[in-house]
Amino acid sequence: MQQIWHELLSWWQSLSGTEQKFLGFLVTVMTLIVALISSYGSKFVKRSNTVKQTTNSGDTITGGTHIDRQNNYYGITLEEHEQRLKRRETEIRAELEQAHAAGRRVLETELRAIEQQLQDTAASYQDLIADLTARIAQLETLRGEFADALLDRAIEALQQGETEKADNLFQQIEDEGEGAIKSIAEATFQRGKIAEDAIRYTDALERYENAIRLQPDNALYLNEAGNLHLKFANYKKAIEYFELALAGYIKTHGEDHSNVATIRNNQGSAWHSLGEYQKATNYYEQALASNLKTYGENHPDVALNRNNLGEAYRQLSEYPKSIDYYEQALVTNLKIHGEDHPDVAINRNNLGLAWYALGEHQKAIEYLEPALVTVEQFLGNNHPNTQAARANLDAVRAALNASQKK
């Protein structure tokens, strides 16, 4: 689920003072989607999600949908995953007290990512296991590029959740590569993934870009670097990487492939953040068409694309079209997740904004009320975003009362 908290800040800064006073909390963006989207806090889902890795034969490696509290294949449990996130959260909050402006921006981006994962630790754990499965499958295809004993130890460390040990082993592969560009690049990339899993984004980006210098045509490396630039609001740089990754994936997979659709969604998100809403719709439409062919109607990525289209058209003041896309996204997410899920709240929140823009206060309230209930459920009554959402709903109610008194 492409980077919601980050997108709120970019969107908020683009609003007028009047809009800020009214809106405060609302709507969805990532992925990247992002993306990236998964969570609360921005108008459009910019999901900056990682493109699935593939084997050399082109087969997509994906994880299952059922999460056991103790995964039989990996040593890290759901509880340990949550504990690691909380430890990193504590570290970041301590670092924020001493950080200067540039460092604060990075730390705040990392903190939002942790908050997002902690909203639904089972889902973020599932994403972690699926990603580890893909990475290990990719490493298995590279046997012969690495010393088998060293590769076996690195894979075992990844499987057991021993990330520091795995990082040291991949560093050893880097150091002992002796000109084996492919193996050095992959080891560098794997170290980047370990850093990203640990929510250490500056280290991760440095390693991704080092891997790209070694293998500049690797679409996976390019996409991961683009995703992190998207998180950091380096939108033009993200677009540059996404364009290169897109060319590589189209060459390998053709137009209608999930990886191609994901990158196009992320490209749309980057253009969206730059205020190029019409250009964003073009990428979102292509992503939607591809995902409909791949998955059919009832899939999270299809809902994501439609939500993003709804937000882009809302920004273009094409409210009826915006509402149509939001409604379709809501129907899909209700089928997939049921009532009490962040994505459902995001869709309802966005619908409330669109109806409010049309002056339909009562209709807006009908969507904003259940959205608030879900926000309270996930964030609690005292979270700043919950308080802002409540204040926004109160503001719409006040506007309705004022209109009825005229």
Residue where the block lists tokens 């000109």? 179
> Does 342 reside within a domain?
no
Average pLDDT value for the chain: 82
Q: Which two tokens stand for residue 39?
A: 């969570």
Q: Which two tokens stand for residue 13?
A: 């800064």
Q: Which residues lie below 8 Å from residue 14, measured CB to CB, with a gap of 6+? A: 275
- pTM score of the predicted model: 0.79
pLDDT digits (tens, 9 = 90+) for 108-122: 999 999 988 998 888
Number of structural domains, the chain? 1
In this structure, how many other beta carbons lie within 10 angstroms of the beta carbon of residue 404? 9
SS3 content of the chain, % helix, strand, coil (to 5): 70, 0, 25
Q: Which of 190, 126, 195, 180 is nearest to 155 (CA)?
A: 190
Q: Which residues lie below 8 Å from residue 94, measured CB to CB, with a gap of 6+? A: none
CATH number at residue 298: 1.25.40.10
Long-range contacts of 133-138 (CB under 8 A, 24+ apart): 133/61, 133/62, 133/63, 133/73, 134/52, 134/53, 134/61, 134/62, 134/63, 135/53, 135/190, 135/193, 137/53, 137/55, 137/61, 138/53, 138/54, 138/55, 138/61, 138/186
> pLDDT above 70 covers what percent of the chain?
82
In whole angstroms, give the CA distance from residue 322 to residue 352. 11
Phi, psi (rounded to 5 degrees) for 322: -60, -50
> Does 92 reside within a domain?
yes
> Does 387 reside within a domain?
no
pLDDT digits (tens, 9 = 90+) for 6-54: 333 333 333 333 333 333 333 333 333 232 222 233 333 333 334 432 2
Higher-pLDDT residue of 244, 9: 244
> Does 399 reside within a domain?
no
Report whether pLDDT(3) > 50.
no
pLDDT digits (tens, 9 = 90+) for 152-182: 999 999 999 999 999 999 999 888 876 689 8
> Does 337 reside within a domain?
no
In whole angstroms, give the CA distance from residue 327 to residue 212. 40
Q: What distances in angstroms separate CA 261 from CA 51, 175, 255, one per listed residue?
A: 9, 36, 8
In whole angstroms, give the CA distance from residue 365 to residue 360. 9
> Does 157 reside within a domain?
yes
Q: Which residues lie below 8 Å from residue 244, measured CB to CB, with a gap of 6+? A: 216, 217, 219, 222
pLDDT of residue 178: 67
pLDDT of residue 167: 96
In whole angstroms, give the CA distance from residue 44 to residue 3. 10
Report whether pLDDT(255) > 80.
yes
Domain assignment of residue 206, given as a range? 4-332
In whole angstroms, give the CA distance from residue 231 to residue 227. 6
pLDDT digits (tens, 9 = 90+) for 361-403: 999 999 999 999 998 988 888 887 788 788 889 989 999 998 8
pLDDT of residue 90: 96
> Does 173 reside within a domain?
yes
Phi, psi (rounded to 5 degrees) for 263: -65, -40
pLDDT band at 312 (very low <50, low <70, confident <90, very high): very high
Helices (H), 120-199: 121-140, 148-159, 163-175, 181-197
Running DSSP on this structure, what letter comes out for residue 61? P
> pLDDT above 90 covers what percent of the chain?
64
In whole angstroms, give the CA distance from residue 160 to residue 304. 33
Please classify residue 372 by burial: count the beta carbons closer than 10 Å to its beta carbon, then call 0-12 exposed, 13-18 middle and 19+ buried: buried
Report whether pLDDT(285) > 80.
yes
> Does 181 reside within a domain?
yes
Report whether pLDDT(320) > 80.
yes
Report whether pLDDT(69) > 90.
no
pLDDT digits (tens, 9 = 90+) for 182-239: 899 999 999 999 999 999 999 999 999 999 999 999 999 999 999 999 999 999 999 9
